[in-house]
Chain A
């Protein structure tokens, strides 16, 4: 499994890490990037997460919209000689999308869009804009040829599909008939029998504005009108981004946690990506509990444990204290047994549902992973000692 996963990474130029929030996606993205950098490639890890996670774990104060070199040569302290380079960058969503507008909008509309109040507040939260801007940036960076591998850590709450479909969703939002109707009333002039419109545009508009207020409708229609000029450019670029992401140069990696709900979600994402023509290259399951004591030993009577303990050097405890300790040590192992048993069952379900795709398990560590050294610990768990 580790072998197949390592091979996948070696062969790709773009790795997109997807998964639901709280599963360690950012950490895993960093580990994948670190591994390839140690092997000798020049790697960029790109995050959209504004929460400083990546900066935290890479041991730098902050990341911004420019690439920052990560001092992995510090690994010499722990006997490693990284052969490549690791770079990181945090996408500023607002800046990135402004950049898209500046690039594709004619000068007149450019100002109108950038100053529109709806755009100002929502440019980073409209359906698909985040993912679009990230895809756009990823594409440009890939085109530049500066890096051998780019690892993208996608936004937390987002599904993999949103990411892939961002250009389409943005396009749909601008292209849809209802919206055209509001910013281009002429589009539908002359057409009859279109359901709501046959009741009379004025009536519909009046009812709608009772609901939203006339001002919002006005502002929104100005926004859409000016935004629509961007559309052709966005669509064209979107097609290219999608082409890169679905090509043999790229692979998606689904990051997950071993609880049943998250595994369900990972299976769902895998299925949907496949329908979209994307191959998931691997799964990484984080925080898998270790089975410390096997089930047979756990069912032993306490007296057996008591005598084993006294043979193992705990014999100076008085009998009551010894028995009490034995009970608690068993209880502790049983508690972790419940978790490891559950994890094992859910990961097996993932295995069964994803034939032939490598599933890599990362143990739940006794320490928190938030430093370069921590990343190295995870790297060894995923790839074996280098």
Chain B
């Protein structure tokens, strides 16, 4: 673990259950890479686009767009990824149009299990190896916001499922190439995002197990998100505890104390789960503060990015 520097990997994925702030962390990390001068591509996989909201950058769709200096974003949809892939193989867009843009064919292709997931990962893979005309790599960094659902890591499992179902053919070879990149510790790392709460920690432990045993992907950090910074000293909190009973509900000081105690209770609870993450999840940990804002905006992303860079060797 001692030499882990996530910033030296080219393909960096962030995974975790819904609601843990995975998109925020992936975006912040991508921004920190861009700030280092790396040409960075941030990929959302077929989700409701949240990136554009955070960057105030207008809609991010299936076309790659520059949203900040050195930072590009794309929201990959299966349809667009499939088209790109098919045209690449068939060479001629005319052939693609004739065969794939037929309504019936579309329905058919949609029904083939795993194909959607594979073409989306295929796009990430393609950008990892993409080169300019002069042979230099097009991208320095590909950052993927990789969903984990109730199925666990279904999406990321697809390449290995495909290679075990098929013995040959284009898709097989494609899946194998994707798998090789996904499992290459020089190129790739997958980070797990979690919250300092009971169920997210349990689920992250299970997720870690699947990534290790089933995906066999090189692991990066566990990122503990949304930590309340402590604002009060123990002495001050003790004073509040002592004085609160003499105050009537609704009194200004009583309300201020209630708010302070609330924060402290959640802070204490969170610290307990931080301990648990350190004990149960044997990955280096990065801590991210909660930001008291009504929506995650650019300054928030920027500050989280700077904090990640500091903790994960990106300074």
Q: Which residues on A are within 8 Å of B, measured CB to CB?
A: 20-23, 48-53, 56-57, 117-118, 121-122, 124-127, 155-157, 173, 176-179, 181-182, 194-197, 199, 204, 207-216, 219-220, 257, 259-261, 265, 290, 292-293, 297, 300, 305, 308-309, 311-314, 317, 325, 328-333, 335-336, 338-339, 341-342, 366-368, 370
Nearest residue (CB) in B for A52 is B202
Say whether, besides A196-B99, A216-B171, A338 and B293 are in contact (CB < 8 Å). Answer: yes
Say whether, besides A213-B171, A333-B259, A53 and B165 are in contact (CB < 8 Å). Answer: no
| CB pairs A–B below 8 angstroms (27 shown) | A50-B150, A51-B203, A53-B199, A157-B18, A178-B105, A178-B108, A196-B105, A211-B90, A211-B171, A213-B166, A213-B169, A216-B112, A216-B165, A216-B166, A260-B295, A290-B262, A292-B255, A305-B256, A308-B253, A311-B253, A312-B243, A325-B236, A333-B256, A339-B292, A366-B262, A366-B269, A370-B199
The reply to whether B104 and A178 contact each other, CB–CB distance below 8 Å, is yes
Instruction: State how many angstroms separate the Cβ of A348 from the closest Cβ of chain B.
Output: 14
Which positions 154-169 of chain B face chain A at CB distance < 8 Å?
A: 154, 161, 165-169
**Which residues from chain A contact B261 at a C-beta distance below 8 Å?**
366
**Which residues from chain B contact A211 at a C-beta distance below 8 Å?**
86, 89-90, 170-171
Closest 3 CB pairs of A and B: A22-B19, A213-B169, A21-B18
Give 14 A-B pairs besides A155-B149, A370-B199 with Cβ atoms closer than 8 angstroms.
A21-B149, A51-B150, A124-B151, A156-B150, A176-B108, A178-B105, A215-B169, A219-B165, A297-B252, A311-B253, A314-B243, A332-B260, A366-B266, A368-B197
Decide yes or no whether B239 CB sits under 8 A from chain A: yes
B8-20 vs A, Cβ < 8 Å mask (1 yes, 0 no): 0000000001111
**Which residues from chain B contact A196 at a C-beta distance below 8 Å?**
98-99, 102, 104-105
Instruction: State how many angstroms separate the Cβ of B235 from the closest Cβ of chain A.
Output: 10
The reply to whether A51 and B17 contact each other, CB–CB distance below 8 Å, is yes
The reply to whether B169 and A212 contact each other, CB–CB distance below 8 Å, is yes
Nearest residue (CB) in B for A215 is B166
Say whether, besides A212-B170, A260-B295, A336-B292, A49 and B99 are in contact (CB < 8 Å). Answer: no
Decide yes or no whether B263 CB sits under 8 A from chain A: yes
The reply to whether A126 and B263 contact each other, CB–CB distance below 8 Å, is no
The reply to whether A292 and B169 contact each other, CB–CB distance below 8 Å, is no
The reply to whether B168 and A213 contact each other, CB–CB distance below 8 Å, is yes
The reply to whether A305 and B252 contact each other, CB–CB distance below 8 Å, is yes
User: What CA separation (Å) do A216 and B169 show in the bound complex?
Assistant: 9
Nearest residue (CB) in A for B172 is A213
Helix, strand, loop or mixed for chain A's interface?
helix
User: What CA separation (Å) do A204 and B50 show in the bound complex?
Assistant: 38
**Which residues from chain B contact A265 at a C-beta distance below 8 Å?**
48
Helix, strand, loop or mixed for chain B's interface?
helix
Which positions 163-188 of chain B face chain A at CB distance < 8 Å?
A: 165-172
Q: Which of the residues B166, B171, B231 comes within 8 Å of A328, measured between beta carbons?
A: B231
Decide yes or no whether B305 CB sits under 8 A from chain A: no
User: What CA separation (Å) do A214 and B170 show in the bound complex?
Assistant: 9
Say whether, besides A177-B104, A210-B90, A215 and B168 are in contact (CB < 8 Å). Answer: yes
Instruction: State how many angstroms separate the Cβ of B32 from the closest Cβ of chain A.
Output: 24
The reply to whether B115 and A332 contact each other, CB–CB distance below 8 Å, is no
The reply to whether A313 and B150 contact each other, CB–CB distance below 8 Å, is no
The reply to whether A329 and B113 contact each other, CB–CB distance below 8 Å, is no
Nearest residue (CB) in A for B266 is A366
Interface centre among A214, A215, A265 (most CB of B within 10 A): A215
User: What CA separation (Å) do A219 and B171 show in the bound complex?
Assistant: 14
Nearest residue (CB) in B for A333 is B259
**Which residues from chain A contact B20 at a C-beta distance below 8 Å?**
22
The reply to whether B18 and A330 contact each other, CB–CB distance below 8 Å, is no
B127-149 vs A, Cβ < 8 Å mask (1 yes, 0 no): 00000000000000000000101
**Which residues from chain A contact B259 at a C-beta distance below 8 Å?**
292-293, 329, 332-333, 336
Instruction: State how many angstroms separate the Cβ of B288 from the closest Cβ of chain A.
Output: 16
User: What CA separation (Å) do A18 and B102 show in the bound complex?
Assistant: 35
Interface centre among B20, B89, B108, B166 (most CB of A within 10 A): B108
The reply to whether B18 and A312 contact each other, CB–CB distance below 8 Å, is no
User: What CA separation (Å) do A342 and B292 show in the bound complex?
Assistant: 11
User: What CA separation (Å) do A177 and B106 show in the bound complex?
Assistant: 11
Decide yes or no whether B107 CB sits under 8 A from chain A: yes
Instruction: State how many angstroms separate the Cβ of A32 from the closest Cβ of chain B.
Output: 18
Decide yes or no whether B213 CB sits under 8 A from chain A: no
The reply to whether A336 and B255 contact each other, CB–CB distance below 8 Å, is no
The reply to whether B266 and A214 contact each other, CB–CB distance below 8 Å, is no
Say whether, besides A212-B171, A339-B294, A199 and B107 are in contact (CB < 8 Å). Answer: no
**Which residues from chain A contact B231 at a C-beta distance below 8 Å?**
328, 331-332
Q: Which of the residues A48, A57, A176, A290 comes within 8 Å of B150, measured between beta carbons?
A: A48
Decide yes or no whether B4 CB sits under 8 A from chain A: no
Q: Which of the residues B17, B149, B256, B273 comes within 8 Å of A330, measured between beta carbons?
A: B256
**Which residues from chain B contact A194 at a C-beta distance below 8 Å?**
104
**Which residues from chain B contact A309 at a C-beta distance below 8 Å?**
253
Nearest residue (CB) in A for B106 is A178
Q: Which of the residues B17, B18, B161, B260 comes within 8 Å of A329, measured between beta carbons?
A: B260
Instruction: State how many angstroms separate the Cβ of B306 from the closest Cβ of chain A.
Output: 20
